[in-house]
Structure formats: C-alpha cells, structure tokens
A and B are shown apart, each in its own frame.
Chain A
Amino acid sequence: MAQAETIEIVSFAAGACRFAVEAQQVEALLSDGPQTLVAVESLLGLPLLETAARPCLRLGKYRVSVNEPIDLRSLSVDSIYPLPEPVALRIQIKGVRALVLEAHGAMLLLDLRGLLAG
C-alpha cells in the first residue's frame, strides 16, 4: 500500500492557538544565542502575553520565541488546505500560508522566513 505523502513541520503555540512552519525553514531549537530575538506574536500581529523566557526557533539570523509544546513531525498533505477566500481576505494574522485540519482542531501554517524578510 502506498504511503501517504507528508511534509515535515515544526508546530508550536502562540497565545491559545497552534501554529506550524515547514521544518525546512527552521535550523535549530535554541534557548539562547547571538541571533536577534523576536517574539512570534510580534511577527503575527498578536498580543504578547508571555514575558517569561521561552524556547526559540532559529531561522537565519533570528531567534523566534514561541510557546511549548514544540513538535517536529510529519504531516499528511491530506490535512493541508489553502485558506478559504473569506478567511484569506479577513484574517488579521500575518504570514499565513495554509490551514491544517486535524482530528483535534485547526492549525495555521506560517511562512516565518517571509515575515522576517519582510
């Protein structure tokens, strides 16, 4: 039987919501380093509620702080969808590339590198 097509993602939390980014965008999981520190909430346009030290994802010259749990896992492409047009037009979160629907809920797939470059 053919295996389901998958991509590798890194998922994390911000606020009360789950987000993910393609694993190829993330170089490492860090707690400290010389890279410029950026809170993921500030990239996405969400309020920053967390002020304690958090784990970071290294993306080039940046460390992006996120909330746990952080998972590196395979995601079936069957659970990835383009954003419906009304959502794409009205969503206020920046850098959203796609929607992930799984049994336990929805997750937004982000382009963090694009946001950092912009």
Chain B
Amino acid sequence: MEERATTLDDILARKRQTGGEVVNVDEPAVKLVFCSLGEQWYAFYGEVIREVLADHEVYYLPGCPSSMEGVINVRGDIESVISLRSVLGLPEVKIAASSRILLGKTSAMSSGIRVDCVEEVLDVLQSAIQSPPHTLPEHLRPVVLGIVMYHEHPVHLLDLERIFADYREGLC
C-alpha cells in the first residue's frame, strides 16, 4: 500500500497537541518579580511569571506590530516577545546586557515580556501593597494593581492579565 506523505496539516495538528500545563503552586506569601525600565520600577505577581530568560536569541518576524520584538525558542516551545516599554508607552532603547525576557502566562495568553532589568524575586506581605494613587498617569490606571515600596522606590504592580487581554485585542 502506498504510504501517504506527511503534510503541513499533519505536522501542525501534531505540534498543537504538545505543550504542558503550568503547575499552579499556592504560595504562602505574595511572590513578586521586580523589574525596571530605565528609572521606573515595576513588578508582576510571581504566579504569572514562569521563567526569567537571559541571552535568548530573538527571531524577527515581518508584519508584526512594533511592540512585538519577535519569537524565541524555549526548549522547543515558541513564544512571542513583547516589549513592556512599548506596551506602557515608553520610548524604546537599545537592548542592554542586563535586559531580560520574562515568560508570562495568564488566562488570556502566554508570551515573553522584554524588560530592561530584573531586580529581584521577593515574597512580599499582601498588606504592603497599597492602592494605586489618584495621581497615577491616565494610561497606567487600567494596568496598575497597586504600589509597593522596594529599596525606597515606589514600584507599580502591573496587571499582566489585563495587559495580555488588551494585547490580544490590539489595544496596546
């Protein structure tokens, strides 16, 4: 019997079935990933950051928004890389050696997030997270969950769920 040649449809169907679930481990404290963009400090809940990557080759793709740097191959899984600077409306800068890619995953989507630097991953008391101030710039209000002090810096705790949901909709 003649064997059927492998088609692209076969390959894509097979590859879509791979990829594991992220194990959601309950943390006794709120784990935050602190990062910076220039002089500005930000944080994400640790539960939405799977991994911090350094020195990963980013493959440029044509036809994508300027906020999308390209894609990376993480042990066989392909992830997009989005510039947090671009998403937050900050000017782009040359990628420095200290730059890192956070691998983020929410119910909306998963993607890499380019930041200038990752400062630390810390457990923080929930009570240390304060409500966002009324003076917060208009464009940040939808994506900032609160403010936490870190080394005497006010740090914006970002809502990755909202950022990714907006990104899916083409809003940022």
Contacts and interface: CB of A to CB of B under 8 A. Distances in A.
A101 B168 CA distance: 23
Nearest to A80: B11
Interface in B86-121: 109-111
Contact of A87 (B8, B15, B71): B71
Contacts of B137: none
A7 B61 contact: no
Interface residues on A, range: 20 to 34
A81 B8 contact: no
A22 B61 contact: no
Nearest to A93: B63
Interface string B145-164: 00000000000000000000
B65 interface: yes
A114 to B, nearest CB: 11
Contacts of A80: 8, 11-12, 15
B6 to A, nearest CB: 6
B79 interface: yes
Contacts of A105: 59-60
Given A80-B15, A92-B64, A106-B59, A86 B8 contact: no
A5 B82 CA distance: 32
Contacts of B15: 80-82
A95 B15 CA distance: 19
Given A7-B7, A22-B7, A97-B12, A108 B61 contact: yes
A110 B70 CA distance: 18
A105 B73 CA distance: 12
A30 interface: no
29 contacts: A5-B6, A7-B5, A7-B8, A15-B62, A16-B62, A22-B7, A24-B7, A46-B62, A46-B63, A77-B11, A82-B16, A84-B78, A85-B80, A86-B109, A87-B61, A87-B80, A89-B109, A89-B168, A90-B64, A91-B63, A93-B62, A97-B8, A98-B11, A101-B59, A101-B73, A101-B78, A106-B71, A108-B62, A108-B63
